Amino acid sequence: MTGGALGEAPLPAILADAACMRQAQLRDLAELAWQRRSSARPLRVRTLRDARLPADAAPGIESRMVPAGGFDECLLDELRRSDAVWLTAPESGDELASLSERIEAAGCRVLGSTPQAVRTAASKSACAHRLACRGVPSVPTLRDPRPWQCGAAAPHGVVVKPDDGVGCEMQRRFDSAAQAWAWGRAALGRRAVYQPWLDGESLSLSLLCAQGRASLLGVNRQWVVEREGWLRLRAVSVNARPDADGALQRLGAAIARALPGLWGYVGVDLVLVDGAAVVLEVNPRATLSYCGLREALQLNPARLLLELPRLPDTAALRPSRSVHVELAHVAAAA
């Protein structure tokens, strides 16, 4: 959204949210670069920036402005001079996985999940199937919801969404499976998947993953609003609740074992139903929660990323506060 890959396409409404994540990541990397400026292994941070946007303001960051149509050339040139790339991109349309493959093909290390893990996580149906087969509680995800027409399997309604959608893109809730099926076929075609609406508390997990293991950095409250059936994520309260009994840490570890290619920062959306967690989807990249993680944890999350595969001891993380992060484009629309 911010790095010039859009070419001449209009800048999207979610640009403000993408910019929030970008600034948080650059701020944390810039601090590490400053701390290591006199070390034997100094850290340089460079970034690509859409030429229509102002240059990055973070001190110590070298921005390369990308003109319309110049993304591929600029990316390849930067890969030749870089050791590693922290990539944030939507997994829909195979964007994140294909970009990861291009980076690896150039001999650069991706500070993120493998393309195979990204593709599995990107498909809500494939991810739910993988997790369920490995004993991780996940929401039933079907290509055809008509078996639920009796209502017993989906008493609170059916949600339609794109199989590879991000955020709440094109997500709509219907009272019956028949209504969901009719709208899904017309609006999304073969991209549509169907899930029962789960009546519970919407949460997300901020995980740090490596080599089939995970550390839970924070449990976040998701503020989802519904208007005429359309679902939108309005805000995230980072570190909103403790994991007192360790159940969510164990859930994160089980997800990492089921998807061993997950690496780095990973977000997991879930619903807490009668005290039991049910996974909705896995986001193999930085999410909006990252914007508040540093303040919530009182530490630099990018440092933890660069220390992988050594994971932090969850018990040693003592978060001190909750941080509320609004989605700018949703708040503006409201």
pLDDT value at 330 more than 60:
no
The per-residue DSSP string of 55-96 comes to PP-STTEEEEEE-TT-HHHHHHHHHHT-SEE------GGGHH
Which burial class, exposed, middle or buried, applies to 43 when counting CB atoms under 10 A from its CB (0-12, 13-18, 19+)? middle
pLDDT, tens digit, for every residue of 108-159?
A: 999 999 999 999 999 999 999 999 999 999 999 999 988 887 666 778 899 9
Tokens encoding 269: 């959306």
Residue 329 has φ and ψ, to the nearest 5°, of: -75, -30
Rounded to two decimals, the pTM is 0.93
Give percent of the chain with pLDDT exceeding 70. 96
Q: Which of 143-147, 161-165, 209-213 has the highest mean pLDDT?
A: 209-213
Distance CA 208, CA 322 (A): 19
pLDDT range class, residue 248, cuts 50, 70, 90: very high
**For the chain, what are the domain ranges?**
15-82, 119-137+200-333, 146-196
Domain 119-137+200-333 indexed as CATH 3.40.50.180: no
pLDDT, tens digit, for every residue of 28-76?
A: 999 999 999 888 889 999 999 999 999 887 788 999 999 999 999 999 9
pLDDT range class, residue 166, cuts 50, 70, 90: confident
- Strand spans (E) along the chain: 45-50, 61-66, 84-85, 109-110, 158-162, 172-174, 192-196, 201-210, 213-227, 230-238, 264-273, 276-283, 323-326
